[in-house]
Amino acid sequence: MPDVLATTFNPLAEDPYPFYSRARREEPIMFCPELDAWLVTRYEDIQRILLQPDIFSSSNALTSPVTFYPRTLEELVKGYLPVPIVLNTDGSDHARFRQPLTKTFAPARMRAIEPFIYQVANKLVDAFIAGRHAEIISQFAYPLALEVVLTLLGIPKQDIENTRKWSHDWLILMSMQLEEEQQVACARSTVAFQRYLAQLIAARKAVPQDDLISTLPQSMAPGAEPLTENELVILLQGLILAGHESTTNMIGTGLLLLLRQPELWQELCDHPDYIPQTVEEILRFDAPIQMFARATTREVTVGGVTLPEDASLLLIYGSGNRDEAVFANANEFRLQRTPNHHLAFGHGAHFCVGAALARLEGRIAFEVLCQRLPHLRLAPEQNPTHIPTLLFRGYKQLAVEW
């Protein structure tokens, strides 16, 4: 029998935090019939689950809630079918994918790309600063995150716009229940995306360059089975999406949090040394990835609730990050919160391999905006709303002026 409280859960709510707060108090682990999954809302339970991948598998981490039309499936089979990659594997299989990515996102490589990120951020501000107003997500946050990750991967500059469209179409295909014609069109776009990546992989194999597409196949651990073409395509597709969507949302969400309290924006501009901690607080307070799925490999008891084998769990990071048992005054946004051991990048074996890049982009984005637009403010008469996806949380648009 479903928990009564769970029937009121709206994963696309503009403000899910009152529900999370009540859930942590009343039913911290509950079954949600709409999602056919158990919701886990307390920090301690989420952390414990993430530290036991042998009991709580990531095999369902990329499961889509969407029902595909037959015509959509006819299109999708023309491309590369989903295979387990870094996010939905465990144990030695997970290590096989993670090893080359860890090399790619190593601290030395992040330091090397730092000047380029400053260059892109300033170039974007140059393009709109004279106008004294901007839609800051489409004109700054999104193109910054996209250009950085695509350059790191090795996507040619002339293909960035196509890649942006393909990636967006794939995101809405996998996360939203579309009308048939739009779903079929997005499936065709997704297959075009995959074929493009396959061609790029082949070109880099013939003539390697200093980019991830070239080095990834050569960065496998000794003795590890080489990545197949299918695995490389699906892995790159996922890296492109995750690498720009979450960072875009972090920057947009952070700006709204700061500009809604202008004194905080002023304080940050006056004290740029606060920026790294502020980025961590943005990630905690309104995480760009709100939840991740896990599946039980056997019957297990968590937080006093017995879960059956093969149960689907949704670990609500957004709720864990507001858990009063861990964070003092958890519903208060603080520029310099310490300590701040949030869950925005996960925990344990699946801790986000791109966390260092996301933090670097966030720091540079706010440094550049504070330096060049210290009088930034929200444009009047707007009501920012969130993108309607289950996994990513961020705003569609955010108008600013100065």
How would you write the pLDDT of the chain (402 residues) with one tens digit per residue? 456 898 899 988 999 999 999 999 999 999 999 889 999 999 999 999 999 999 999 999 988 888 999 999 999 999 999 999 999 999 999 999 998 898 888 888 888 999 999 999 999 999 999 999 999 999 999 999 999 999 999 999 899 999 999 999 999 999 888 999 999 999 999 999 999 999 999 999 999 998 889 988 888 888 889 999 999 999 999 999 988 999 999 999 999 999 999 999 999 999 999 999 999 999 999 999 999 999 999 999 999 999 999 999 999 999 999 999 999 999 999 999 999 999 999 999 999 999 999 999 999 999 999 999 999 999 999 999 999 888 889 999 999 999
**Vertex 85: Cα angle to 150 and 141 (nearest 5):** 30
Beta strands in 233-311 (DSSP E): 291-296, 300-302, 305-307
Query: How many domains does the structure of the chain reveal?
Result: 1
CATH number, domain of 232, equals: 1.10.630.10
Q: Name the nearest CA neighbour of 248 among 123, 129, 66, 386.
A: 386
Q: Count CA atoms within 13 Å of residue 60 on its CB side.
A: 18
The CA-CA-CA angle for residues 117, 122, 125, to 5°, reads 130
Residues whose CB is less than 8 angstroms from the CB of residue 153 and which lie 6 or more positions away in sequence, other chains included: 211, 212, 213, 236, 239, 240, 243
**CB of 330 within 8 A of CB of 322?**
yes
Peptide bond into 339 cis (omega under 30): yes
Q: Are 122 and 114 in contact (CB under 8 A)?
A: no
3-class DSSP state of 265? helix
Encoding tokens for residue 90? Answer: 């465990």
Domain that holds residue 209: 5-401
Angle value at C-alpha 233, between 35 and 311, nearest 5 degrees? 25
Structure tokens at 328: 């003092």
In this structure, how many other beta carbons lie within 10 angstroms of the beta carbon of residue 230?
A: 16
CB atoms near residue 194 (< 10 Å): 22
User: φ, ψ for residue 300 (rounded to 5)?
Assistant: -155, 150
HEC letters along 378-393: ECCCCCCCECCCCCEC
Instruction: Tell me if 146 sits within 8 A of 33, measured CB to CB.
Output: no
Among residues 81, 86, 91, 119, the alpha carbon closest in space to that of 105 is found at 86
CA distance 270 to 263: 10
